[in-house]
């Protein structure tokens, strides 16, 4: 069984504004400071790297699944294709929506990941609760994980 790094998207990897992922006029996300450098450095510690994200705007009609996937594609490109897989939960009520464990356990089952040997990095108590509910071995606050190490 493998270990994995599970990453929240908004507020962890990319900037959010008014609880939505911020994009410029061209539709590009803004990666948070140190994201690329730290992920490229820490990638060697993990067999798999996943992004998990709640995007209820899809169900509400304010965001398309294609646009949400483009956010992840932009992060993946910026980090040199380090992302193994991702899960976007488009629903307001779902067993997959964090803090429920569905996205984590779904990716773990698909990729033969031992969640007890894995890490979830997030920026909210919902992320922390999702890690606990899924049996993730270690939760790290995004600000701590992406703090520049000299």
pLDDT tens, residue order, the chain (150 aa): 899 999 999 999 999 998 889 999 999 999 999 999 999 999 999 999 999 999 999 999 999 999 999 999 999 999 999 999 999 999 999 999 999 999 999 999 999 999 999 999 999 999 999 999 999 999 999 999 998 654
Domains in the chain and their CATH numbers? 4-145 (3.40.50.1000)
Helices marked H in 47-141 — which ranges? 57-60, 65-78, 102-111, 125-134
| 39 and 79 Cβ atoms separated by less than 8 Å | yes
Q: Which of 28, 75, 26 is nearest to 53 (CA)?
A: 75
Cα dihedral angle (64, 5, 107, 111), rounded to 10 degrees? 130
**pTM for the model:** 0.96
Q: At what angle do helices 125-134 and 102-111 cross, to 10 degrees?
A: 50
Residues shown for the chain = 150
């Amino acid at each position: 069984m493998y270990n994995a790094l599970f990453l929240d998207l908004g507020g962890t990897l990319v900037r959010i504004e008014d609880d939505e992922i911020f994009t410029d006029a061209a539709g590009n996300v803004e990666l948070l400071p140190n994201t690329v450098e730290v992920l490229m450095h820490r990638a060697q510690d993990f067999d798999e790297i996943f992004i998990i994200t709640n995007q209820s705007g899809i169900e509400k009609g304010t965001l398309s699944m294609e646009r949400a996937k483009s956010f992840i594609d932009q992060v993946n490109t910026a980090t040199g294709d380090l992302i193994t897989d991702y899960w976007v939960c488009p629903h307001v009520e779902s067993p997959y929506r964090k803090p429920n464990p569905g996205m984590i356990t779904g990716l773990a089952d698909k990729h033969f990941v031992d969640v007890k040997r894995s890490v979830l990095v997030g920026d909210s108590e919902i992320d922390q609760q999702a890690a606990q509910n899924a049996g993730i071995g270690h939760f790290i606050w995004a600000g701590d994980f992406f703090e520049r190490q000299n």
